[in-house]
Amino acid sequence: MVDELDDIFERFIHSKIFKNREKLLPDYIPDRLPHRDEQIKKLATILAPALGGSRPSNIFIYGLTGTGKTAVSRYVLGRLTKKGGDNIVYIYINCRQNDTNYRVLAELARNIGIKIPFTGLATSEVKKRVLEGLERRGKIVIVVLDEIDHLVKKSGDDVLYFLTRINEQLSNSKLSVIGITNDLKFMEFLDARVKSSLGEEELVFPPYNNKELEDILRKRAAEAFHEGALDNSVIPLCAAIAARQNGDCRLALDLLLKAAEIAERSGENVVKEEHVRLAQKEVEKNLAVDVIKTMPLHVKLVLASIYVLTKEKVKNLTTGLIYNKYVYLAKIMGIEPVTQRRISDIINELDMLGLINARVVSLGRYGRTKIIKLSVSSNSIEEGLKEDLFMLGLTELTI
């Protein structure tokens, strides 16, 4: 055993593939971000007045997932604060992790040196302390609220309202807000006044195309891998797969990293196309599992019904059959079932999420009906539903 472990460790230390694996991890911000020159320059131009002591405009940044919004913002703000020294404070808050007004304010306070307990204070008291703290600092503070849609959907726009109005109450300091989202519909949730003050400037991040992703991957691969560690087809394949998925650079990097890990684990010195294919399967499975885990209960139950029927080898699944199974499962669990009409909608939603495939077929003079099939593996479904089904005592029934 000891020798086996030593083998594993040695293989890692003397990797023939990785020169520096960290350079591919999601948190690493590379020195160069190709194909984002326009966004980098525009952001820098909007923020530059901070260097002369004026408050930069608030900025609203949007674009699909993996288009470089977080990386570009952190890069530009890092450079700005380096140049501005002590006079500019930059605070980065991820609103997926901090999705309540209280937590965002507490995070903000912590970053300007004020301690706020995790809970217990009234929000108005935290606001007061933040205000006093900012005033005492006498600086230009730039707050980045990344994935801001999570905060607004969960807790409304109270903090945004507070932060975009705060300058009226500050005389010694100035504060700007940068809001980032990949959810374009989220703007509808915002109060008109918040919308207009947050959107003083707007910055759009278009998806990367195939060639751009290839370029980006090549540069990042040069830092992360030994020369010759990648077969020629590997980068174009990762780029092509990610380009089809809305030009998501995170996916492209994830595929490359996973493919290399698969190759390394199987003791090979070169990453090949087959490793990318295996990585793609793994990534797709993880995506499906994540989607399933975050679905509302009734949607999960409908998916569970389709899954159970499939396991029971029932052919030609129609909405009616699924509805009956759903009602049965809901009753076992003591949950009030929703209407068949709502189940139809849920089936459409599952279809749009790519978890099932609903095909309309003609029944001649009996009209038309939908035939439904699972389009992800049973494994993904089992893993995605595991916790809920276990909690609800359904494991016996389904697996």
Ligand X SMILES: Nc1ncnc2c1ncn2[C@@H]1O[C@H](COP(=O)(O)OP(=O)(O)OP(=O)(O)O)[C@@H](O)[C@H]1O
Q: Which spans of this chain sit near ligand X (rule: CB under 6 A)?
A: 26, 30, 33-36, 63, 65-71, 182, 205, 216, 220, 249-250, 253
Residue 380 binding partner per list ligand X, Mg ion, none, with a CB distance cut-off of 5 to 8 Å that depends on partner kind: none
Rounded to the nearest whole angstrom, what is the least distance from the CB of residue 92 to Mg ion in the complex? 11
Q: Which of 214/264 has CB closer to ligand X?
A: 214
Give the footprint of Mg ion on this chain (CB under 5 A): 70
Q: Which residues contact 239 (CB under 8 A, 6 or more apart)?
A: 210, 211, 213, 214, 217, 252
Rounded to the nearest whole angstrom, what is the least distance from the CB of residue 73 to Mg ion in the complex? 8
8-state DSSP, 170: -
Question: Residue 292 and residue 307: Cα distance in Å, rounded?
Answer: 13
Rounded to the nearest whole angstrom, what is the least distance from the CB of residue 70 to ligand X in the complex? 3
Q: Which of 60/225 has CB closer to Mg ion?
A: 60
Question: Residue 301 and residue 394: Cα distance in Å, rounded?
Answer: 11
DSSP string, 128-154: HHHHHHHHHHTSEEEEEEETHHHHHHH
Residue 133 binding partner per list Mg ion, ligand X, none, with a CB distance cut-off of 5 to 8 Å that depends on partner kind: none
Q: Which of 70/245 has CB closer to Mg ion?
A: 70
Q: Which of 70/197 has CB closer to Mg ion?
A: 70
Rounded to the nearest whole angstrom, what is the least distance from the CB of residue 48 to Mg ion in the complex? 23
Question: Residue 252 and residue 240: Cα distance in Å, rounded?
Answer: 8
Measuring CA to CA, which residue among 164, 155, 161 is closest to residue 59?
164
Residue 344 binding partner per list ligand X, Mg ion, none, with a CB distance cut-off of 5 to 8 Å that depends on partner kind: none
CA 11 to centroid of chain Cα atoms: 32
Q: Which of 249/317 has CB closer to ligand X?
A: 249
Rounded to the nearest whole angstrom, what is the least distance from the CB of residue 253 to Mg ion in the complex? 13
Residue nearest to ligand X (CB): 68
Q: Which of 216/260 has CB closer to Mg ion?
A: 216
Rounded to the nearest whole angstrom, what is the least distance from the CB of residue 31 to ligand X in the complex? 10
Rounded to the nearest whole angstrom, what is the least distance from the CB of residue 193 to ligand X in the complex? 25
Q: Which of 65/369 has CB closer to ligand X?
A: 65
Rounded to the nearest whole angstrom, what is the least distance from the CB of residue 303 to Mg ion in the complex? 28
Phi first, then psi, for residue 229 (nearest 5°) are -80, -15
Distances (CA, A) of 78 to 14, 139, 386: 33, 16, 42
Q: Which of 158/261 has CB closer to ligand X?
A: 261
Asked whether the CA dihedral 112, 117, 123, 126 is positive or negative, the reply is negative
Residue 35 binding partner per list ligand X, Mg ion, none, with a CB distance cut-off of 5 to 8 Å that depends on partner kind: ligand X
Residue 309 binding partner per list ligand X, Mg ion, none, with a CB distance cut-off of 5 to 8 Å that depends on partner kind: none
Measuring CA to CA, which residue among 179, 174, 217, 172 is closest to residue 198?
179
86-106 burial, b if ≥16 CB within 10 A, otherwise e?
A: eebbbbbbbbeebbbbbbbbb
Measuring CA to CA, which residue among 104, 177, 178, 180 is closest to residue 148?
180
Question: Bridge-partner residues for 225, per DSSP?
Answer: 18
